[in-house]
Structure 1
Amino acid sequence: MITLLDRHLTALPEAPALTGMRRFAVELLYFGVKEARACLFAGLFFLAVFLCPRAGLFGIPRYDLLLLFALAVQALMLWTKLETWDEFKAIGLFHAVGFALEAFKVSGSIQSWSYPDPAFSKVLGVPLFSGFMYAAVGSYIIQAWRLLDIRVLHHPPYWMAGLVALLIYANFFTHHYIGDYRWYLAACVLGLYSRTTVVFRPYDRDRRMPLLLGFVLTGFFIWLAENISTFFGIWRYPDQLGAWSVVHLGKWSSWALLVVMTFTIVANLKHIKARIHIPD
């Protein structure tokens, strides 16, 4: 069913007769459908987060159930060809990057947040399902890139974008020791991507949006998802241990920078793959 939907969404017919408000409504509808489809893995994963009882099921702890569910969804997407092996390998990279960050953040000397529930699949205090939260962001970008036929105009030099992404990732670790430089890095991102435009196709015509706006909006929606996740007790920040409170708005900037880093990984992987397939 979803495979048929993908074929439909990526082979939409030209519709020159569509004009005015009717065109606006159709394009908005298809944009929403494509975005929802791109969020398939993330949507199913967070649905499981909300529905899974905190006490677990059948003696299996909640965190372990979430890991089993994420693995099952990932396997299903591969089996149905909703995700290619190249995309799967890229998502595996996001999982590894996310797990390394989680292990550092929950360590005894840092304790930026914690996972309070028990689990068999905890490694270094981190339940293995947590890496899929980062993989979900990567999955969304990869799927949206294909479904919306995304092209990037005026992309900055790839080595420069990669360096800034690496510094963003490093700052998540080093700010505990040498200060938080996120706003300096944000300024670098503003300068680097100031001319960069995303071209995407909701229906049969190309539309454009500043890439920086995409970073900010995606970061905001992740921040909303984080509020919901902490409300359900999947993880907790130190100020939420007594009673739940809204995640600090400053986390929005952290998520936006993480989106920059994730986008850069996807863009660089696609660039490398394109160069490999270009004949000499």
Structure 2
Amino acid sequence: MKPIMQLLHFSYHQVMSCLFPVAIFGTLFLSGVIDVPFIYRYDAILLILLAVQYLMCRSGLETRDEMKVICVFHIIGLLLEIYKVRMGSWSYPEPGFTKLLGVPLYSGFMYASVASFMCQVWRRLKMDMTGWPGLTSAGLLGGAIYLNFFTHHFIPDFRWWLTALVLIVFWKTWILFRVRTITYRMPLTLAFFIVGFFIWLAENIATFFNAWKYPDQHQGWQLVSFSKISSWFLLVIISVIIVAQLKHVKAVRKIHVK
């Protein structure tokens, strides 16, 4: 009976941590099947997601610090989207007033939803890490990963070299999480892959509901390439590095205040 209770408790907090991603996919689905004549779809999605963020913050489901992290990721994601659309990696073919250089402003929230999940699950499961390599190593690696998303269009793609570096840098790093009174742990790189895989599943749902289109999906929807899992694996690392560092800074500040 105890393992079942542990699983239910763990599942509950995972579901609660996914509220914003679920809101995004729910909005994408509803906006795809309900035609609102007086507003463009992309504009409606942005307004709804802004309202969801406001309600989550006001209700206490999301803290102000978590909101700040989400804003940072929204900017990071939007810059990457603008560049990728310009390079023809994917497109947003529908019209909208809230588009910047061909990219709807709501798109940044899809990256921010990863940060939202990270922050929520970190707080709810009282997560911590052992063997963290430090800001210098983790920060330089995260910066190189983000830069590679831009540079691989005109120089060789170093994602597999970067993946190997991830395994080396985070070899001794374990993530700790608490379910009721029991603390569990797993290798951080395994957590990277699991989250990356589920984001890839979510990406298939998003493209099915026309959130964006890859070049091979314009004639009809098809499964997103499995190679995208590696991209999300690396993007998740950037998310974890930023969130983990912010959590560390906040913890140090609390100690100094005491």
User: 1:245: how far off?
Assistant: 1.2
Match of 2:76 in 1: 97
User: 1:276: how far off?
Assistant: 3.3
Say whether residues 1:129 and 2:106 are aligned partners. Answer: yes
CA RMSD of aligned residues (A): 1.3
Kindly report which structure 2 residues correspond to 1:6-45, keeping only aligned pairs within 5 A, or say none.
22-45=1-24
Counterpart amino acid of residue 222 in structure 1 = I
Match of 1:69 in 2: 48
Kindly report which structure 2 residues correspond to 1:105-120, keeping only aligned pairs within 5 A, or say none.
105-107=84-86, 110-120=87-97
User: 1:270: how far off?
Assistant: 1.5
Counterpart amino acid of residue 180 in structure 1 = D
| Separation in structure 1 between the aligned mates of residue 253 and residue 59 of structure 2, nearest angstrom | 27
Counterpart amino acid of residue 70 in structure 2 = I
Say whether residues 1:188 and 2:165 are aligned partners. Answer: yes
C-alpha change, 1:60 and 1:254, in structure 2 (3 Å) is same
Structure 2-normalised TM-score?
A: 0.96
Instruction: Answer whether contact 2:85 2:103 (CA < 8 A) is retained.
Output: yes
Match of 1:83 in 2: 62
Identity of aligned residues (%): 49
Q: Aligned residue pairs: how many?
A: 257
> Residues 213-259 of structure 1, C-alpha deviation per residue, up to 9 Å, x if partnerless?
11000000000011111112211111111121111000000001000
User: 1:56: how far off?
Assistant: 3.9
> Residues 61-91 of structure 1, C-alpha deviation per residue, up to 9 Å, x if partnerless?
1111110111000000111121121111111
Greater Cα shift, 202-211 or 249-258: 202-211
Instruction: Answer whether contact 2:32 2:210 (CA < 8 A) is retained.
Output: no
| Separation in structure 2 between the aligned mates of residue 54 and residue 236 of structure 1, nearest angstrom | 17
Among candidates 219, 222, 225, match of residue 242 of structure 1: 219
Match of 1:51 in 2: 30
- SS of the equivalent of 1:206 reads strand
| Separation in structure 1 between the aligned mates of residue 61 and residue 6 of structure 2, nearest angstrom | 23
Among candidates 131, 135, 145, match of residue 154 of structure 1: 131
C-alpha change, 1:55 and 1:116, in structure 2 (3 Å) is farther
Structure 1-normalised TM-score?
A: 0.89
Match of 1:272 in 2: 249
Which of 1 and 2 has greater Rg? 1
Counterpart amino acid of residue 29 in structure 1 = L
| Separation in structure 2 between the aligned mates of residue 46 and residue 162 of structure 1, nearest angstrom | 31
| Separation in structure 2 between the aligned mates of residue 277 and residue 55 of structure 1, nearest angstrom | 48
Match of 2:119 in 1: 142
- SS of the equivalent of 1:66 reads helix
User: 1:277: how far off?
Assistant: 3.6
**Over 2 Å off, 4+ runs:** 53-56, 272-280
| Separation in structure 1 between the aligned mates of residue 152 and residue 10 of structure 2, nearest angstrom | 38
| Separation in structure 1 between the aligned mates of residue 38 and residue 61 of structure 2, nearest angstrom | 32
Structure 1 unaligned spans of 5+: 1-21
Instruction: Answer whether contact 1:114 1:235 (CA < 8 A) is retained.
Output: yes
Counterpart amino acid of residue 212 in structure 1 = T
Among candidates 182, 189, 197, match of residue 212 of structure 1: 189
> Residues 44-75 of structure 1, C-alpha deviation per residue, up to 9 Å, x if partnerless?
11111111136741421111111011100000
| Separation in structure 1 between the aligned mates of residue 221 and residue 52 of structure 2, nearest angstrom | 30
Counterpart amino acid of residue 236 in structure 1 = K
Match of 1:18 in 2: none
- SS of the equivalent of 1:32 reads helix
Counterpart amino acid of residue 41 in structure 1 = F
Match of 1:226 in 2: 203
Instruction: Answer whether contact 2:71 2:112 (CA < 8 A) is retained.
Output: yes
